Amino acid sequence: MSLASCLQTTFEEGVLLSVEVQAGAHHNQIGEVNAWRSRLNVAVRAQAQKGMANTAVLECLSTSLNLPRSSLSIVSGHTSKKKTVKFENISEKTLLETLREAVETP
């Protein structure tokens, strides 16, 4: 399944990314696409308590994609491992290229 299946453009000049979070992992890292759910796997060291994993997901994506943390927000799934992250001020094409580089780079 391709990364493009995880993305959706919004009307408010943003892009939505469907992710599936693995909290309590050994490393913070972007994984592969879950073909069954069309979600990008994101592993974070933080536990799923008191919003710590949510913060870690945004930090992981921001750092891995070299994007400002202020341009990312979780718009759904705050208490679930299935989340939707909104990226502001970036085109779907640019985000897709950036994600591909991050996923391919070990």
102 or 46, which is more confident? 46
Tell if the pTM clears 0.85, that is, is over it: yes
Q: What is the mean pLDDT of residues 33-54?
A: 94
**Are 82 and 18 within 8 A, CB to CB?**
yes
Q: What pLDDT score does 10 carry?
A: 85
Q: What is the mean pLDDT of residues 42-57?
A: 96
CATH hierarchy code of domain 3-99: 3.30.1200.10
Model pLDDT for residues 65-76, shown as the tens digit of each residue: 999 999 999 999
Domain boundaries, the chain: 3-99
Q: Considering only CA atoms, which of 61, 1, 81 is closest in space to residue 33?
A: 1
Q: Where residue 105 falls among pLDDT bands split at 50, 70, 90?
A: low
Percentage of residues of the chain with pLDDT beyond 70: 97
14 or 104, which is more confident? 14
| pLDDT exceeds cutoff 80 at 77 | yes
Q: What is the mean pLDDT of residues 18-27?
A: 96
